[in-house]
Structure 1
Amino acid sequence: MATLRMGHGPGLERLEQAGHTVGGWVARYARFGYAARGVVYATIGVLAVKLALGYGGKTTDTQGALVTLAQQPFSIVLLSLLAAGLVAFAAWRFVQAILDPEQKGRDGKGILTRVSYFISGGMHVALALSAAHLVTGAGVQRGRGTQGWTAELLSKPFGAALVALVGAGVLAFALVQFRNAYTAKFREKLSLERLTPAHRQWALRVSRFGLAARGAVFTLISGFLLLAALTANPREAKGLDESLAVLAEQPFGAVLLGIVALGLVAYAAYLFLQARYRRIAAP
């Protein structure tokens, strides 16, 4: 008597193969996206390191990094790849937010995490468009900047409270970066078994340094936003480039800027590790 084997057959095999194919493409796009982000942060960090050492350089943000890359040889090819990579990363963020392949769930913490992924996706779409504009020669279409949207919020009813809320959100994000640096929980998402123990330790140290430096930068940004809310003065609000510039103006500013700048380069290395070794769950 023939045995009925549930769950097998050519139709199911084709579905499984299609699933593996989709998952493979999602992983490739995600890795491409992490690498593109790494290039952007490496550019920001290297420019700040050069400024700290007195070899030119400047403080800049992600948009400014793209402008700098547009001035390099083969910029059209580089920016085209970056635009594609940033779109890929945005798509991965939307997948994380909507399909939840990493099982963040629907409790309060999970929803908040997935909302942050969606916001991140939108921000990287905007950055990809900036790269595309540079490729076509249209230039970067900069918005009103941190001070511009802070002024807009302050003009609304309860505007100071809204700005303070944004500042608190940025501070919470910074604390998450510090926590990740301290606990090194990110290593659970990395497949580093193929590295030697020594190389693995160095990868973790560099990643922790990079996350801590990013946390420090966002702590500065949140502090300026909270100050803007407290004084109802949008000029007190500062973005990434302006926060780094203020850091450079402090006593021992070159040292402070140099440490944070090296940390941003380390964060770029962390993103490259994500591109190569991250465990990416298919939706």
Structure 2
Amino acid sequence: MNPFARLGANTIERLARFGYGARGAVYGVVGILALLAAIGSGGQAGDSRNALRTVLGGPFGAILVGLIAIGLLGFALWRLVEGATDADRRGTSPKGLAVRGAHLISAAIYGGLALSAASLSLGLGLGGGDGTRDWTAWLLAKPFGRWLVALIGLGVAGGGVGFLLKAARGDVTERLALDRGKLRWAKPLGRFGYGARGVAFLIIGAFFVVAAWYQRSSEAKGLAEAFALLRAQPFGWVLLGIVAAGHAAFGAFGLIQARYRRIDAPDIDKADDAVARAVRAAT
């Protein structure tokens, strides 16, 4: 094998592992803050950007947020490579193509979060306004925009169903290189985390469907509002506490993925070609 090709593959693998760790750190903070809010011990049930602000306010905050930004960018690049090159060998079945498409969407989301983290680390802030509602309003103003927003909502909710099924089937550790003993504690952690993310995705997807139904961008909401909806229910602090703890578990599971996930990364030249083809196809 060409040693330079192996070096390129190793670079992608390192970026992917750093990315899983950064994503895990962000959702770990999200879950812990929401759990503290649920039990009335301070904290704020917010989204990933709230978590970044919290990290920034701690010791070495700017450095840590900067490292998270680099990690999230690495994760976005890995998701792009996954979707474009089929690095995980999902295939071209409808399910495989759906997963690869979701990875491409994930690449865009985490790329945006990486930019927000970098901006925050450099003291530039996270930008004004509500990005979700802004682009929802932009879409609603377009022909067929209402249907596009509804499709986005259904897609998000579908992702939630996928997470819940993954948690129920227990195949969250299928790509982890762990022995049987470690799997006994890693699997329940991952199932709990994916289950909590599934609940959050279902609620967020419903928000977008409601926004499309009423044609009001103000109805398009994110994770912070999903937490708030849970808290407003009877015994809401219990519901919020469970879902918050699940997000913390999802964050911890991300750290496990950073260390033990099997990553069959292509060399950089092949990845570049595949990504370029994907971009051309999209445009």
TM-score by length of 2: 0.88
What's the CA shift for 1:143?
5.2
Residues of 1 paired with 2:149 and 2:111: CA distance?
A: 24
Q: 1:44 aligns with which of 22, 25, 30?
A: 30
Q: 1:26 aligns with which of 12, 23, 26?
A: 12
Residues of 2 paired with 1:39 and 1:129: CA distance?
A: 17
Residues of 1 paired with 2:205 and 2:132: CA distance?
A: 11
2:167 counterpart of 1:167: no
2:68 counterpart of 1:85: no
Residues of 2 paired with 1:242 and 1:142: CA distance?
A: 18
- Structure 1 residues 108, 143: CA separation in 2 closer, same or farther (over 3 Å shift)? farther
Q: SS where residue 101 of structure 1 aligns?
A: coil
Residues of 2 paired with 1:258 and 1:75: CA distance?
A: 26
Structure 1 residues 25-49: Cα deviation after superposition (integer angstroms, max 9, x where no partner): 2222111100000011011111101
Residues of 2 paired with 1:125 and 1:231: CA distance?
A: 30
2:83 counterpart of 1:97: yes
What is aligned with 2:276?
A: none
* RMSD (Å), alpha carbons: 1.7
State the AA in 2 paired with 1:242: E
What is aligned with 2:244?
A: 261
State the AA in 2 paired with 1:19: A
What is aligned with 2:271?
A: none
Superposition map of 1:43-122 within 5 A: 43-122=29-108
Structure 2, unaligned runs of 5 or more: 267-283
Residues of 2 paired with 1:190 and 1:99: CA distance?
A: 20
Superposition map of 1:203-222 within 5 A: 203-222=186-205
Q: SS where residue 189 of structure 1 aligns?
A: coil
Alpha carbons 1:47, 1:59 under 8 Å: kept: yes
Structure 1 residues 38-97: Cα deviation after superposition (integer angstroms, max 9, x where no partner): 011011111101100101111211122111111111012201211111111111112112
> For structure 1, which segment, 30-39 or 54-63, has the greater mean C-alpha deviation from structure 2 after superposition?
54-63
> For structure 1, which segment, 129-138 or 42-51, has the greater mean C-alpha deviation from structure 2 after superposition?
129-138
What's the CA shift for 1:112?
2.8
Residues of 2 paired with 1:126 and 1:146: CA distance?
A: 12
Alpha carbons 2:160, 2:201 under 8 Å: kept: yes
Structure 1, unaligned runs of 5 or more: 1-12
Find the structure with the greater CA-based Rg.
1
Alpha carbons 1:170, 1:222 under 8 Å: kept: yes
State the AA in 2 paired with 1:279: R
TM-score by length of 1: 0.88
Residues of 2 paired with 1:279 and 1:98: CA distance?
A: 18
Identity of aligned residues (%): 44
What's the CA shift for 1:255?
0.7
What's the CA shift for 1:107?
4.0
User: Structure 1: which 4+ aligned runs deviate by more than 4 Å?
Assistant: none
> For structure 1, which segment, 247-256 or 32-41, has the greater mean C-alpha deviation from structure 2 after superposition?
247-256
